[in-house]
Amino acid sequence: MPAYPMRTERLVLRPLRDDDIEVIIAYRNDPEVAALQDWDLPVTRERVESHVARQSDWTDIEPGEPRQIGIELDGELVGDLYVALDEHGGVAEIGFTLRTEHQGKGYAHEAASAVVEDLVERLGCHRIFAQLSPENERSKRLLQRLGMHVESLAPKSYWCRSAWDDNLVCAMSADEWRARQVSDPDQQRSAP
């Protein structure tokens, strides 16, 4: 049985589809959304069409195969979550992007929590991390809510849009994630 699409309390986590293309172009080019992300601007239709074509037919997270997971609310794409499980299946990187009007409502936390739980409990991943600009306070807080801690800050080490940016790495082990689930049940995946 395919692991995805996956349902949470309010969301469906699924592969991207052709009917998502217009929405993706719009939010990826939104200056407020793109400000602290690392993609090249402008995001073109050709690039999104190609990306969706590569990301539309998977049914599971697989080692060595990065996934862009659509975050759907009531039949509407509200954002996406990136996950890349290394070729050994032990370490995963995550990232998330939400349309401006859907930020601050717990959707990114709900989606990320569900994917982290899946990575740890079903796929046996032992370490999860995220990389971001230290200026991205909202994402940093969300990662901390997931149970991650700041692991490192590398000044001027990330090349983005023709400039060097600082790179903040937040991470947690599977054991840390499990301990947090036991000690703080409100952090479980259905929490808004």
Percent of the chain with pLDDT over 90: 77
Sequence-distant (≥ 6) Cβ neighbours of residue 50 within 8 angstroms: none
pLDDT value, residue 165: 79
| Residue that the structure tokens 């793109």 belong to | 34
Q: How far is CA 55 from CA 58, 107, 152, 164, 176, in A?
A: 7, 21, 31, 29, 30
pLDDT of residue 48: 97
CA dist 166 to 7, 82, 92, 157, Å? 35, 20, 21, 6
Please, what CATH class does the domain formed by 6-187 belong to? alpha beta
pLDDT confidence tier of residue 18, bands split at 50, 70 and 90: very high
- Mean of pLDDT over the chain: 91
The per-residue pLDDT for range 62-82, each reduced to its tens digit, is 999 999 999 999 999 999 999
What pLDDT does 160 receive? 63
State pTM to two decimals.
0.90
Mean pLDDT across 114-122? 97
Task: Determine the pLDDT at residue 191.
Answer: 39
What confidence tens digit (pLDDT) does each residue in 122-173 have?
Answer: 999 999 999 998 889 999 999 999 999 999 877 776 666 667 777 789 999 9
190 has pLDDT over 60: no
